[in-house]
Amino acid sequence: MSKEKQFVTEITPQQEDFSRWYIDVIKKADLMDYSPVRGCIVFKPDGFEIWEHMQEELNRRFKETGHRNAYFPMFIPESFFQKEKEHVEGFNPELPWVTEAGGEKLEERLAIRPTSETMIGHMYSKWIQSYRDLPVLINQWANVVRWEKRTLPFLRTSEFLWQEGHTAHETEEEARQETMQMLEIYREFVENFLAIPVIMGAKTPSERFAGAVDTFSIEAMMKDGRAVQAGTSHYLGTKFAVAFDIKYLSRENNLEYVHTTSWGVSTRLIGSMIMVHGDDRGLVLPPKVAPTQVIMIPIGPPKTREQVIGRTDELYKELKQAGIRVRVDDRADVSPGWKFNEYEMRGVPLRLELGPRDMENGVAVLVSRISGEKRVVQQANLVAEVEKMLQEIHDDMFARAKQFREENFSFVDTLDELKASMEEKRGFYLAGWCGSAACEQQVKEETGATSRNIPFEPQVKKDTCLCCGEKAEHTVVFARAY
């Protein structure tokens, strides 16, 4: 058995057990480790750097649209949660409580934030007096905690990292525009940066954020056909404004409640990205987010080794200079084949091979992680060739993910049809829905699928509810979800 063969078989094939494949891959690619605290993981450097690249990109988009970052305390007094009824019902079961500090029992318990609408609402009520103070456009990068019963690295952990935007506006119209703008920013980011196609739509009432008037989401399909809610944007109406008394003097000199929004994405994007793109050889990282975009591997016999490494280093400097995240692996005690497998497993999008004959010919060989395509390119034109191929890899990844989603996207008319189809294969199912929570609940109980969202642009419109057969109010995507 060759070393290459041994290497690959350490990862459970996706078809055999997708969950085990996922854990194998994230552990082996060194993205995370379990911690001694239940449901909390350690983000190792390769995992965390993915998050750093996401942060940079999102920050750029947030700032371009006028938002600024701030930071609010993570401790939230218990009384704050009581102020918005739906909010407390939604989050209370998951809160961790600080009851002692500095050697004393606290008079009031402090929750650790599961989200910050309450703390931020309290502050906004102090900051906002007049329409001149509006809009308030603030974002926060923070750790939050939701004490989950079942956890899965990146996708559902007790402590996780996220950003939460919180804005306040004069009118409903303006707040709704903001809600949509941020949803669109998430869509554009997730599609163009992470190469994940998503479905934009509105959540049904039972799936809304606790305290929201409307919740909108982008939903992505994993390679096991399950859905991940990749980002949400909420129009909160005046609910939190009423709860926290956030009023402003309007242009007409009336005291009015502000309209607020909130929106967030989290480190679960890392997990989604892995489940959308990975394969049986390991991770496949989208080029724009990969900690290493190009791995350079000098090859050939010992007698030309020094020369090849010398040239490799020159080319390395050129690529680095151009802002490409590149690394060289010139270890002498590891075979090229082993290295090829290693970096394929780690999901490095592009491999550059350079051997003595390539040197003579002034070329290098580029190999795509996703398609395996080999391309012989001129060294003189290397930066442009690498940039071009990285973009093609991104496009290829997006196209494959989209095709997979389309292959696993079906239309159904009845609950029986949904049940039968889901037993055959998981995926997204578009169906009519009358709008009643009871029908939604029945679908969930009988199939395990939840309503993901009501797509803004459904491929078809369904006329009758899959469950009760009455007139359909909406056409909904149903799927099992993480």
Residues forming contacts to a copy of itself in the complex (CB under 8 A) are: 33, 35-37, 40-45, 47-49, 51-52, 68-77, 80, 92-103, 110, 112, 119, 122-123, 126-127, 138, 142-143, 147-149, 159, 161
**Both tokens of residue 430?**
């578009």
Residue 117's nearest CA partner among 6, 261, 232 is: 261
Residue 152's nearest CA partner among 240, 275, 236, 257 is: 275
User: What is the Cβ-side half-sphere exposure of residue 4, based on CA atoms within 13 angstroms?
Assistant: 8
- Output 145 or 276, the one with its CB closest to a copy of itself: 145
Q: How far is the CB of 116 from a copy of itself (least distance, A)?
A: 11
- Output 93 or 301, the one with its CB closest to a copy of itself: 93
Q: How far is the CB of 126 from a copy of itself (least distance, A)?
A: 7
Side chain identity at 422, as an amino acid letter?
A: M
Region of 225 on the Ramachandran plot (φ > 0 left; ψ -120 to 50 alpha; else beta): left
- Output 76 or 319, the one with its CB closest to a copy of itself: 76
Q: How far is the CB of 87 from a copy of itself (least distance, A)?
A: 17
> Cβ of 275: how many Cβ atoms within 10 Å?
25
Supply the DSSP string of 236-301, one letter for each residue. EETHHHHHHT-EEE-TTS-EEEPEEEEEEEETHHHHHHHHHH-BTTB----TTT-S-SEEEEE-S-
- Output 146 or 208, the one with its CB closest to a copy of itself: 146
Q: How far is the CB of 106 from a copy of itself (least distance, A)?
A: 8
- Output 126 or 251, the one with its CB closest to a copy of itself: 126
| Residue 132: strand, helix, or coil | helix
Side chain identity at 24, as an amino acid letter?
A: D
Q: How far apart are CA 187 and CA 196, in angstroms?
A: 9
Give residue for tokens 């649209």: 65
| CA–CA distances in Å: residue 156 to residues 38, 147, 374, 434, 481 | 12, 10, 38, 31, 12
Task: Report the DSSP pairing between strands 247-249 and 199-202.
Answer: unpaired
| Residue 142: strand, helix, or coil | strand
CB 135 within 8 A of CB 168: yes
Q: How far is the CB of 275 from a copy of itself (least distance, A)?
A: 21
Region of 168 on the Ramachandran plot (φ > 0 left; ψ -120 to 50 alpha; else beta): beta
> Residue 189: in which H helix or E strand, if any?
helix 172-192
Q: How far is the CB of 135 from a copy of itself (least distance, A)?
A: 13
CB 296 within 8 A of CB 326: yes
Count of positions (residues) in the chain: 482
Q: What backbone phi and psi angles, to 5 degrees, belong to 364?
A: -145, 160
- Output 135 or 432, the one with its CB closest to a copy of itself: 135
- Output 66 or 362, the one with its CB closest to a copy of itself: 66
**Both tokens of residue 240?**
């939190």
- Output 163 or 217, the one with its CB closest to a copy of itself: 163
Q: How far is the CB of 294 from a copy of itself (least distance, A)?
A: 18
- Output 154 or 404, the one with its CB closest to a copy of itself: 154
- Output 95 or 200, the one with its CB closest to a copy of itself: 95
Q: How far is the CB of 161 from a copy of itself (least distance, A)?
A: 7
- Output 261 or 368, the one with its CB closest to a copy of itself: 261
Q: How far is the CB of 181 from a copy of itself (least distance, A)?
A: 19
CB 202 within 8 A of CB 218: no
CA-based R_g, the chain, Å: 25
Q: How far is the CB of 308 from a copy of itself (least distance, A)?
A: 24
Q: How far is the CB of 113 from a copy of itself (least distance, A)?
A: 11
- Output 41 or 213, the one with its CB closest to a copy of itself: 41
Q: How far is the CB of 406 from a copy of itself (least distance, A)?
A: 36
